[in-house]
Structure 1
Amino acid sequence: MCVASVWTVAKQELLTTLRDRRTLTSTILVPLIMIPLFTVGLPLLFGTLFGGQAQTRQTVGVVGTLPPALRSQLTQDSKEEKGVRLIAVTDPTAAVRNGDVDAALNVQSALPSQAGTSGQLQLFYKVGNLKAESGAAGKVRSAVSNYNKGLVGKKLAELNLSPALLTPIALSTVDASNAAEAGSGQLAFIIPLFLLQFILAGATATATDSTAGERERGTLEALLATPAPRSTLLMGKLVATTLTALIAAGFSVLGLSLSAPIALLVTPAGQSTAQSATQQAFGGSLALGLGGLGAVLITAASAALLISALLLTLSLFARSVKEAQTYIAPLTLLIILPATLLQFADFLKTSNAIYAAPLIGSMLVILDTVKGALSGPHLLLSLGGNVLLAALLTLIASRLFGREGVAFKK
């Protein structure tokens, strides 16, 4: 097989693909914009929405009488958060459902002003509503808890007893995560998803146009009539498709590398502690070193080779570009479903076999890299799984391309 002939075919296919502005947009601009937007923008948005609730004064309806100390606990402002505004309501359920208040309190029995007696207090809010959970409901729970602790503390002081009697064991929490894992947050699973999706989008146009597209236009027959061996023509198309996918992979990794500096630029200087903590929890401080970026790039390259071989093989069965796109559409689900399940990766007991699984192993390696837990053997297993399946698919594509009727519409 002549390398120069393969490159000649590949170059022609690449030029055809690159003339399409839509392909350039999906291959270059979209990864550069979307990956920083999701890795930086979403955590920043969540930090603003959830953490910002602490700095917002919500309205809480009240049925009955609250002790003055508890009212003060609910309405007073602190450095970290603002208190709530209390208003009288008659029907707490209706007030919450109609949006008149963010939450409501119903005093079922007289509330104590000192420890030793008890009372019943109901909290009404829309359970499952994230705004209510992080805002009014959370503030009410915190205020009632502090009020109870205050009453108990006063009673213990009257009895000359130490508050330590109530908590014989003091439990403190220490974050054992490494810096990368702590910075990756809960949205780390979307990074493998976007990387592979952009690779798939980048390779699709070249794969479908160079096979089903040429068959539909009738140019494939003329191409096969040239002296060049069919294996050379197929390899040229595979090289072109893989290069297009690699371009998408490269710009995806570039977009990922830009996330950290962009995060520094767009993070507000006066961000509250609650906003900062929420942004950190969702991955707003993601940063990868050169080694991590290199591992992601190599993994993405092997995935690009596999996806290109798969797309080329499927497209050889199609009589038109539209039909080829129909065959390719389910591949999106094959990427989205496993990538979505990665958010539960902490519950899975991963084995070498999973890392050797084509594409799935690549997703796990990318996730491990983002979390700073990359293992060399796992990287090699994922690369090997992708390359082996790509070689098998290339062999199948070669058999299909060697058929006599490959150039004709069926």
Structure 2
Amino acid sequence: MWLVFLKEIKELVRDRKTLFFMIALPLLVFPAIFGVVTFVSSKAISDAQSEVLDYAISGAEYAPELVSKIAESKDFNLVALPENENIESWVKNEQADFVLVIPENYNDDILSGGQIILKVYLNDAGLNLVLSRLQAIVNEISERNQQAAFAQLGLTESQQTALIEPMVIEKVDVADQRENWGEKIGGFIPYIIFMLCLQGAMIPATDLGAGEKERGTLETLLISPVPRHHLVMGKFFAIALAGVTSAMVTVASMAVWGIVLSQGMAIQLVAEFMGAISGTDFLLIFFMLIPVVAIFSSILLSLSIYARSFKEAQGYMTPLVMFTIVPVIMAMLPGVELKGGWAWVPLTNVALAIKELIKGTMDYVQLIAIFGSTALIAAALIGFCVYWFNKEKVLFR
């Protein structure tokens, strides 16, 4: 069995395509993709913030001060609004980025004028930051009018605060930083790891089954004095090792690049969060991935053995991604916790356990159900894989 395992590992190492997907892709391509997305996003926001927006005003005569302050801003460029023009159609036809409509009841004295509603017509489908820029100018005038009204009423500072916010809810969070971070990102980590384990094992599995058929080397392997179940287990362990390696390399790569690219407080927060997770929790996460990888590897090898060609094997394996995503997404749903029956649901229980371990709120007794159910399913699938490999009509379809 181990001779077969070493043979398959050597072939995987010699295959540049497999090495690229297992090591080079996680180390370089994924961080590069995230870097490009971050750069493009930040550039788009920066461009939107610096873009000069064309605008028109309806009812400018009611608020000369507001109109003057908007005109003084370098963020805006005034254009003429045609008379009797439908404002919505005019903005939709991109004649201006927005139109500000000032009502007749505009008044600096808010005690007599009441609340003023300024309407802004814009196409908000794109990134334009119209409201945030306009709000800064409006807030300046609003705060001044508010202070003038308070002065007329003769209110003290405490009375002013109480009038603006009569009742305030103060949140006292009893969760520590680790639990907060774990709740926010703990659900996505199993999703990433499961997908990487599956993708990392998929290419070797396709090659070690259907690939052997296409190359005509499967027959030579079968007539060797090696028991069939040893052949299956050798291939199985090679696929499992590829899946675990791909996942671990990718996670390590993201962690390293995140620390390298972060600065100042970000590094401190990441260090504090990672430091709060004990080595035991990391080991438990790793050990829980072993039966998960075994499940993926046995299913992938069974499909690859059944397929007549490399292309057919890929067609069988692609839907497996959806079957993996669904139980992991279920672990992210509100109300789904590692209690009762959820501890026995395959994949979902592991995803929930990883989340709890990251949060530091794990009930370690539940590990019995998690390891038990996952290992049982993995053993059954490995047994099926051995049975499948012993059927001549499957091997020589």
- TM-score range, shorter-chain basis? 0.7 to 0.9
Partner of 1:11: 6
Distance 1:337 1:100 in 2: 46
Q: CA deviation at 1:33?
A: 3.3
**Which AA in structure 1 matches 2:381?**
L
Contact kept in structure 2, 1:358 and 1:385, CA below 8 Å: yes
Is residue 144 of structure 2 the alignment partner of residue 153 of structure 1?
no
Partner of residue 319, structure 2: 330
Q: 2:63 maps to what in 1? A: 67
| Pairing 1:140–2:127 present | no
CA contact (8 A) 2:183 2:355 kept: no
**Bigger shift: residues 67-76 or 105-114:** 67-76
Deviates more, 1:41-50 or 1:92-101: 41-50
- Cα RMSD of the aligned pairs, angstroms, is 3.8
Structure 2 letter corresponding to 1:322: K
Residue 39 of structure 1 contacts residue 284 of structure 1 at CA under 8 Å; is this kept in 2?
no
The aligned runs of 1:229-308 (5 Å cut-off) are 229-264=227-262, 288-289=274-275, 291=279, 293-308=282-297
How far 1:59 sits from its partner (Å)?
5.0
CA–CA distance in structure 2, aligned partners of residues 21 and 260 of structure 1: 27
Aligned pairs (5 A) from 1:353-368: 353-368=341-356
Deviation at residue 141 of structure 1 after TM alignment: 4.3
1:388 aligns with 2:376: yes
Alpha-carbon contact 1:110-1:120 (below 8 Å) kept: no
Match of 2:92 in 1: 97
| TM-score, normalising length: structure 2 | 0.79
Aligned pair 1:117/2:108, yes or no?
no
> Quick check: 1:28–1:251 contact (8 Å CA) kept in 2?
yes
SS of the residue corresponding to residue 288 of structure 1 reads helix
SS in structure 1 at match of 2:318: helix
Distance 1:261 1:231, change over 3 A: same
Q: Deviations over 1:276-323 (max 9, x none)?
A: 9xxxxxx99995346365444334333222211111122232222222
Amino acid at match of 1:229: P
Distance in 2 (CA, whole Å) between partners of 1:74 and 1:170 is 34
Asked if the contact 1:14/1:206 (under 8 Å) is kept, the reply is no
The SS at the match of 2:166 is: coil
CA 1:405–1:171 in structure 2 vs 1: closer, same or farther (change >3 Å)?
A: closer
C-alpha deviation, 1:151, in angstroms: 2.4
CA distance in 1, matches of 2:153, 2:94: 45
1:348 maps to what in 2? 335
Partner Cα separation in structure 2 for residue 312 and residue 76 of structure 1: 69
Partner of 1:3: none
Give 1:316's match in structure 2, choosing from 299, 302, 305: 305
* Aligned amino acid, residue 348 of structure 2: I
Shift of 1:103: 3.1
| Conserved 8 A contact 1:13-1:206 | no
Q: Is the 8 A contact 1:184 1:284 kept in 2?
A: no
Residue 263 of structure 1 deviates from its aligned partner by 3.4
Q: In 2 relative to 1, CA 363–175 (structure 1 residues): closer, same or farther, beyond 3 Å?
A: same
Q: How many residues align?
A: 380
What is the one-letter code of the residue matched to 1:258? V
Worse overlay, 228-237 or 173-182: 173-182
For the 8 Å contact 1:35–1:191, the answer to whether it is kept is no
**Greater CA drift, 218-227 or 17-26:** 218-227
Tell whether the 8 Å contact from 1:44 to 1:284 is kept in structure 2 after alignment: no
1:123 positional shift: 1.4
Structure 1 residue 11 displacement after superposition: 0.9
Normalised to the residue count of structure 1, the TM-score between the two structures is: 0.77
Deviation at 1:26, TM superposition (A): 0.8
Letter in 1 for 2:351: M
Contact preservation (8 Å) 1:200, 1:245: yes
Partner residue in 2 for 1:198: 196
Secondary structure in 1 aligned to 2:346? coil
2:76 aligned with 1:85, yes or no? yes
Offset at residue 251 of structure 1 (A): 0.6
Tell me if structure 2 keeps the 8 A contact 1:17–1:205. Answer: no
Question: Does the 8 Å CA contact 2:177/2:273 hold for their aligned counterparts?
Answer: no
Residue type of the alignment partner of 2:318: A
Counterpart amino acid of residue 192 in structure 2: F
The 8 Å contact of residues 63 and 106 in structure 1, kept in 2 or not, is answered as yes
Q: Describe the SS at the equivalent of 2:78.
A: strand
For the 8 Å contact 1:257–1:288, the answer to whether it is kept is no
What 5-or-longer segments of structure 2 have no aligned partner?
none
Q: How big is each residue's C-alpha offset from its partner over 1:187-207, in whole Å with a ceiling of 9 and x where there is no partner? A: 765543332222222212222
**Do the aligned partners of 1:59 and 1:101 also contact (CA within 8 Å) in 2?**
yes
Change (3 A) 1:198 1:346: closer
SS, match of residue 347 in structure 1 = coil
8 A Cα contact 2:186 2:358, kept in partner: yes
| Greater relative contact order, per chain length (Cα 8 Å cut-off, separation 6+) | 1
Q: Percent identity?
A: 25
After TM superposition, give the deviation of residue 137 of structure 1 in Å: 1.6
**Matched residue SS, 2:113:** coil
